[in-house]
Structure 1
Amino acid sequence: MFGLFKKKSEKQKLQEAYQKKMSEAHKVSHSNRTQADKLMAEAEEIAKKIDQLKV
C-alpha cells in the first residue's frame, strides 16, 4: 500500500518496455515476420541500455 506512489526507477521502466516489445514481437511474428524482426531489434537496444545501467 505504501509503495502505491513510489516512482519507478529507470531500470524498471526499461525492463517494462523490453517486456512489452518482446510480447508485441511474439504476437506479430505469426503474421508479419519483418515487423517482428524490427520489434526484436528495438527490444535488443533496450536490453543494451539496461546492461549499461548495471555497470
Structure 2
Amino acid sequence: MFGLFKKKKKTEIEKLQARYTGLMKEWHALSSINRSESDSKYEEAENIAKQIEKLKNETT
C-alpha cells in the first residue's frame, strides 16, 4: 500500500528519449535564430538517437 505513490524509476532509454525530445525542441527554436547553434543541437540529438537505437538492439 505504501508503494502505491512511489515514482517509477526511469530506464536509461526513457531518460535518453526525454533528453532527445528536449534537444529537438531547442533545435527547432534556434533554427531561425542561430543556425550554427541549431546545427550543434541537432548533431547532439542525433548522437542520442544512435545511443537509443543501440540500447534497443542490445535489449532484444
- TM-score, length basis structure 1: 0.91
In the alignment, does 2:50 pair up with 1:43?
no
| Residue 22 of structure 2: aligned partner | 20
Matched residues, number: 54
Instruction: Encode CA deviations 1:13-51: one digit per residue, 9 max, x unaligned.
Output: 000000000000000111101100000000000000000
Kindly report the root-mean-square deviation, in angstroms, between the aligned alpha carbons of the 2 structures: 1.2
Task: Provide the C-alpha distance between the structure 1 equivalents of 2:55 and 2:5, rounded to a whole number of angstroms.
Answer: 23
| Alignment-mate amino acid for residue 7 of structure 1 | K
Displaced runs of 4+ in structure 1, greater than 2 A?
none
| Residue 34 of structure 2: aligned partner | 32
What secondary structure, in the 3-state scheme, does the structure 1 residue paired with 2:29 have? helix
Gaps of 5+ in 1: none
- TM-score, length basis structure 2: 0.84
| Alignment-mate amino acid for residue 49 of structure 2 | A
| Alignment-mate amino acid for residue 35 of structure 1 | E
Gaps of 5+ in 2: none
Q: Percent identity?
A: 44
